[in-house]
Amino acid sequence: MKIRLGFITNSSSTNHIIMWKGDKYDLKRLLLEKISIFPTNFSGYAQNYHVDKSEILDAILSMIERSLDKSSIQKELAERLEYAERWYKESIQDKRPWGTSWAEEEVKFTKELISLSEDKDWMLEISFGDNEGCFAGGDLGYVMDYAGRNIDVEEDELAYKTEQNR
């Protein structure tokens, strides 16, 4: 469960942050080269969930028009870092330990994304989840949220990171 603005929810999602070099449409080739990183199964909640890797690839590519170019990446990540640093400072002042630890992790993660983005031309952030996110529910949402939450690629042309929203 997670606490958000004073209420509790049991839904979850995982953000998939993908950065790459080259043309926007090079993403398909780069992901096909790394297709083995995608999980296809998740067993939980007394059910088995399954997707084909092609379904995952199609879902990601269906969102490609939401990609940010280089100048937009820097702006987006700077705003994200500013928000996390402000939250961290306020949570220390207000003595909110759960907020402090989240914000501290968010600051660290965002700084890592900033570093990875320095030589990348595009960024796409997609959320998969059980009840929330771009792709919520169904086998695709469950598999990519729960089994796909630890994808971690850092290569010259492609970076792929995940971040849990709990």
Residue range 41-89, pLDDT digits in tens: 999 888 999 999 999 999 999 999 999 999 999 999 999 999 999 988 8
Judge whether 2 lies within some domain.
no
Judge whether 42 lies within some domain.
yes
In whole angstroms, give the CA distance from residue 115 to residue 11.
30
Looking at every residue in the chain, the average pLDDT score rounds to 89
Judge whether 127 lies within some domain.
yes
Q: Which domain holds residue 90?
A: 11-165
In whole angstroms, give the CA distance from residue 129 to residue 114.
25
The structure tokens listed for 161 are: 């990171």
Residues 128, 163 contacting (CB under 8 angstroms): no
Judge whether 3 lies within some domain.
no
Judge whether 1 lies within some domain.
no
Judge whether 74 lies within some domain.
yes
Q: How many domains does the chain have?
A: 1
Q: Tokens 């909640």 map to which residue?
A: 45
Judge whether 38 lies within some domain.
yes
Judge whether 5 lies within some domain.
no
pTM attached to this predicted model: 0.88
- Please name the residues in contact with 159: beta carbons below 8 A apart, sequence gap of 6 or more: 17, 18, 19, 20, 116, 117, 120, 153
